[in-house]
Amino acid sequence: MDDKILIVDDEENIVDFLGRALRQNGYKTICAYDGDEALHLIEEELPDLVILDLMLPLMDGWEVCRRSKSGEKTAAIPILMLTARSSSEDVVQGLDLGADDYMRKPFPLDELLARVRVLLRRSSQESLSKTITDGDLTIDTTEREVFLRGAVLDLSPMEFDILELLTRRIGHTVSREELLKKIWGMSGDTRTVDVHISRLRKKLDDGKSPALSAQTLRGRGYRLAWEDKEQCSEE
């Protein structure tokens, strides 16, 4: 196994514990104890995954995540956030900045290892299929760019991930619970999904026909589909 994981935490005992566990499971590890060092290693080492604590000296985990996800070479690197804080706002902020998953401390080691496997597997699968095309929609998963009728859509990291998942399943219903689990890596309150879908829907509406719509199926979830605006208005 050649996957390289960057562990970022200012608590040396946690870094040692995670490093030992990951190496025992066949992963290579590098470590950082503050935000500045973490960002430097992300840019220089290009790890396959980052396990990132939120509360760090010099630069906090949110800023590390934001800069990593906005970098041309580092945007696709999955980030698993760790937090000792109970506030859901902290978690939502990290996810909105592009974090791929999160866990609260203290965490079960077997669950963390399972989430690491899922993130690495998903990252590997996405790299195999670099371009998704359906009609006038093109998604470049490498550059994380979306084109609708040739125009670039300005999407947030979460909106991009939602659109990619819905496009891979176009015409089929995806439940809120599945979106929450696959995009955010958690279960629970699905209202954050509704907020992101609402924003995505507005960005997909370019006023042209056929329209690409993130349809709401009450009690079931969402479905991406092409709609003929003229037919809809006649009906």
Q: Which residue has the higher pLDDT, 97 or 36?
A: 36
Confidence label for 1 from pLDDT (cuts 50, 70 and 90): low
Q: What digits encode the pLDDT tens for the residues 181-218?
A: 888 777 667 788 888 999 999 999 999 989 999 999 98
pLDDT value of position 116: 93
Q: Which residue has the higher pLDDT, 233 or 227?
A: 227
pLDDT value of position 230: 55
Mean pLDDT confidence for 38-56:
94
The 3-state DSSP class for residue 93 equals helix
Mean pLDDT confidence for 125-135:
74
Q: Under CATH, which architecture does the 129-229 domain have? A: Orthogonal Bundle (1.10)
| DSSP for 103-159, written as a single string | EESS--HHHHHHHHHHHHHHHHHHHH--EEEETTEEEETTTTEEEETTEEE---HHH
CATH of 4-127, one of 3.40.30.10, 2.60.120.700, 3.30.56.10, 3.40.50.2300: 3.40.50.2300
The answer, yes or no, to whether residue 128 has pLDDT greater than 60, is: no
Confidence label for 235 from pLDDT (cuts 50, 70 and 90): very low
* Placement of tokens 């969402």 in the chain: 222
| Residue 77 · residue 49 · CB < 8 Å | yes
pTM (2 d.p.) = 0.58
Q: What digits encode the pLDDT tens for the residues 60-93?
A: 999 999 999 888 788 889 999 998 876 777 777 8
| DSSP for 157-171, written as a single string | HHHHHHHHHHHHTTT
Numbered ranges of CATH 3.40.50.2300 in the chain = 4-127
Numbered ranges of CATH 1.10.10.10 in the chain = 129-229
| Residue 85 · residue 54 · CB < 8 Å | yes
Quote the distance between the C-alpha of residue 56 and its chain's center: 21
The 3-state DSSP class for residue 31 equals strand
Q: What digits encode the pLDDT tens for the residues 20-32?
A: 999 999 999 999 9
pLDDT value of position 171: 87
